[in-house]
Amino acid sequence: MASLQCSSHFLGTNPKNYNPTSIFQSYSRTSFTKLSSRVSRQRFLRCSLYMNGCEADHKTPLGTVETRTLSTVPSPAAATERLITAVSDLKSQPPPFSSGIVRLQVPIEQQIGAIDWLHAQNEVVPRSFFSRRSDVGRPDLLQDFSSDNGSLFDRNPVSVAGIGSAVFFRDLDPFSHDDWRSIRRFLSLKSPLIRAYGGLRFDPNGKIAVEWEHFGSFYFTVPQVEFDEFGGSSMLAATVAWDNELSWTLENAIQALQETMLQVSSVIMRLRRESLGVSIVSKNHVPSEGAYYPAVNNALEIIKDKKSPLSKVVLARSSRIITDTDIDPIAWLARLQCEGQDAYQFCLQPPGAPAFIGNTPERLFHRKHLGVCSEALAATRPRGDSRVRELEIERDLLTSPKDDLEFSIVRENIREKLKTICDRVVVKPKKSVRKLARVQHLYSQLAGQLRREDDEFDILTALHPTPAVCGCPVEEARLLIKQIESFDRGMYAGPIGFFGGGESEFSVGIRSALVEKGLGALIYAGTGIVSGSNPSSEWNELELKISQFTRSLEHESALQPIN
């Protein structure tokens, strides 16, 4: 049995009095009954989760929320040394507050991939990664709605990687307005890069399966050590957060940060973007093809029933793959990134948990001040192997009545939801084709202006889940999913992204997988069932959607876009 090097403190625990047995006591109080056997299998835990921000009084402001920018250095090694000194200075001259969060950041002259930095950190957990997608060639509808003049967000990271946790937010109960306010307590417009990265379960009320237990109903973290990749430069940052009311002092926070800093590696090698060369030994689908066909036919009967309000339901599949060697989730994500310039990439991994990674094309929402935008993405076709074939497939997608129905349900549902929280809503274009490396979809953007910034929580509750991952009407679709699907979606199809002081952005956690050492991976995919759907075609669509994952593991070159 590997020695235990990490702890996760949940509700009702006192990190100042940490001892190894307290881990098991704290988890038993929160119904994580299988922790003991799972923790014994962990071979690479290094950091700890100490302060759960959800335990604090969200009505009490922090004493300080601040960012201190140090002078620019030429390399990550120099940045690490500069931060170590700055943390020591902070310890000798502490801010005179009983609570607060301080970010120390060092700009680096050269651009280094955040995912390459993360891979160099020797699997230190907790770890997180979020890469924004490229929206080149698409109009920015937020420009018409955001009051921001651009000054605060000119330096928006392309990708962010983090290890350790200055403060985390997690609970078994569904994400609430109070939980959102607990997160907002640590954020400020004046410190735009202090952000809480994480996600929510697809179904907050569903039973949590063992593979998802360490994520809780939701999980967010402000990393202790963070690497930000910008266009043309980089930045290394260290963050401390403390609250004496939670028995987590500034002294505790600095000591924990220093322990994490000692593990930071500045020897960064660019990851090879070729396939991982891993062979898939076995593949098992839940549901199986034999069980999936009746499930689709059952859903179609309900949709066709004139007494049923259901017009669409999304049925998902979980595919367990076993490989001949362990899968490195960060190397896998880097490989997926080659084909995902037009997609978000993410990784969330709390201590003791598998890594949840994804390469999702779909945005849930992006907020800048009062401006908010979302999008409709539905219906799927493969890419063509020639320019002529590509145009044929695109024309078929645009003219298909079945796909138009599926897409229209998604677009109009999002439009109506935005109307409940925005003064006006713009849809542009009404329908177009969005092309990705292996597939293409029908696509439209929607944007509006919030009545107040505090409506951000309402964006989540209004937009999630979208008809693209659940169905319409949502509650009827969610009920049918619960009846039909025999596995836990966890955070698959849930909101994945970050909350920030003046800006927040969430993707939809599709095209995703849960990766655990020794256990292979669970790959998730879903298809929308509407009137006119065919079980065989839907099964083939599932195979197409997971192909970007399975083929990138094995010996296949990255696809190049067709011009």
Q: What is d(CA 304, CA 83) in angstroms, rounded to the nearest whole number?
A: 62
Catalytic residue among 211, 226, 229, 312: 312
Q: Give the CA distances from residue 47 to residues 3, 19, 165, in Å, rounded to whole numbers and listed in that order.
A: 14, 14, 8
| 407 contacts 442 by C-beta, under 8 angstroms | yes
DSSP at 154: T
DSSP per-residue letters across 13-56: --GGG--HHHHHHHHHHTT-TTHHHHHTT-S-----B--BGGGS
Q: What is d(CA 314, CA 416) in angstroms, rounded to the nearest whole number?
A: 20
Pairing outcome for strands 355-360 and 344-349: antiparallel
Q: Is 324 helix (H, G, I), strand (E, B) or coil?
A: coil
Residue 496's H or E segment, with its range, is: strand 495-499
Annotation marks residue 362 as catalytic: yes
Maximal C-alpha separation, the chain:
72
Q: Counting every residue, how long is the chain? A: 563
Before 473, cis peptide (omega within 30)?
A: yes
Annotation marks residue 312 as catalytic: yes
Runs of H (alpha helix) within 441-534: 456-463, 474-484
Catalytic residue among 123, 213, 339, 362: 362
Hey, what are 264's tokens? 């930071």
DSSP H helix total and E strand total for the chain? 13, 22
Hey, what are 237's tokens? 């940052």
The three-state (H, E, C) secondary structure of 347-410, written as one string = EEECCCCCEEEEEECCEEEEEECCEEEEEEEEEEEECCCCHHHHHHHHHHHHHCHHHHHHHHHH
| Catalytically active residues, by annotation | 312, 362
